[in-house]
Amino acid sequence: MTTFNFNNITPQLTLLSAEMDKAITWFAKNPDYSDEGKRNHLKRVADQHGYTAAISKLRKAAAALPEAVAKEQAGEYAKVYPRAKDSTEALAAEMATQRYLQREDLTKTDGDNNNLAALQVVFKEMGPSPARTMLFEEMQARGIANAELMRGCEAEENPALRNAQHTANAAETTARLVNEQLDDLETSLQNPRMSTAGDTMKLDQIKNYLVNYFSDDMETDSHISFEKLRPAPAFNTPAPTE
């Protein structure tokens, strides 16, 4: 387990895109190379200057983001829904669950969600306990626990769970956008074309998601580190014209 700030994706991906764009555009405009020659030279540039390795590491970081969010949220949910530590606690939780399930005000909905007030009272009344965990899991399995109400009760008890679904969605979206940008870079290595890697709109989207949702360091099972990228000096000169 280690910590990583996923905002570090932005400068690495931005620099990688800019440097690869220089190389790809330079070869795309150069009439002295065949398509096969362009591909071979670009692969060599990508390998020698660390671009190939950077793509792999950025994909690893993108995959780690939703996993880190899921793990973080699982820890917060565990505070709201603790598990029994031994058989004695488990038996007590089961007995309490059966008692509550006999209450019609809690279990009879008639399809109208008319048990919402009782659900809210019982949730607060029981507090974080193995019995409450077992009861509400059983009620959800039976379809008699209103999901929207439950999210509200959970967030009220543990503010860290506010906007949990939005955060999880943001992580998935960010990972998708990063991979799309990397897909475009890799495709361009095989098919050089003009102005290929400079998708600044997508880079801005990625930056905004990371800044707004993931500004703090997060725990992750993945070891993520980025090497310093070096520019390819030949592509600091003007590209040839046909």
Q: Which of 22-31, 102-111, 141-150 has the lowest mean pLDDT?
A: 102-111
Give bridge partners of residue 145 from the DSSP assignment: none
Q: Which helix (H) or strand (E) holds 91?
A: helix 87-101
Residues 62, 171 within the same domain: yes
Look up the domain containing 91 and give its range.
80-160
Whether residue 60 contacts residue 224, with contact meaning beta carbons closer than 8 Å, is answered with: yes
pLDDT of residue 242: 43
Count the domains in the chain.
2
Q: Grade residue 92 by pLDDT with cuts at 50, 70 and 90.
A: very high
Of 134, 160, 186, the residue at which a domain comes to its end is 160
Q: Which of 223, 201, 220, 204 is nearest to 212 (CA)?
A: 204
| Residue 153, number of CB atoms within 10 A of its CB | 20
Q: Give the residue among 160, 139, 142 at the shortest CA–CA distance from 150.
A: 139
Mean pLDDT confidence for 155-159: 94
Same-domain pairing of 147 and 197: no
Determine the pLDDT at residue 145. Answer: 84
User: Within this chain, do residues 139 and 178 fall inside the same structural domain, yes or no?
Assistant: no
Q: Three-class SS of residue 218?
A: strand
Task: For residue 33, give Cα distances in angstroms to 27, 129, 144, 192.
Answer: 8, 70, 68, 11
Q: How many CA atoms lie within 13 Å of 55's alpha carbon, on the beta-carbon side?
A: 20
Report d(CA 158, CA 152) in Å as an integer.
10
Q: Does position 208 have pLDDT exceeding 80, yes or no?
A: yes
Q: Do 116 and 156 reside in the same domain of the chain?
A: yes
Average pLDDT, the chain: 89
Quick one: average pLDDT of 182-188?
Answer: 91
Distance between the two ends of the chain, CA-based, in angstroms? 53
Rounded CA separation 232/26 (Å): 11
Q: Does the pLDDT of residue 238 top 70, yes or no?
A: no
Query: HSE of 9 in the Cβ direction (CA atoms, 13 Å)?
Result: 35
- Residue count of the chain: 242
- Which one has a higher pLDDT value, 87 or 147? 87
In the listed set 160, 189, 208, which residue is the last one of a domain according to the structure? 160
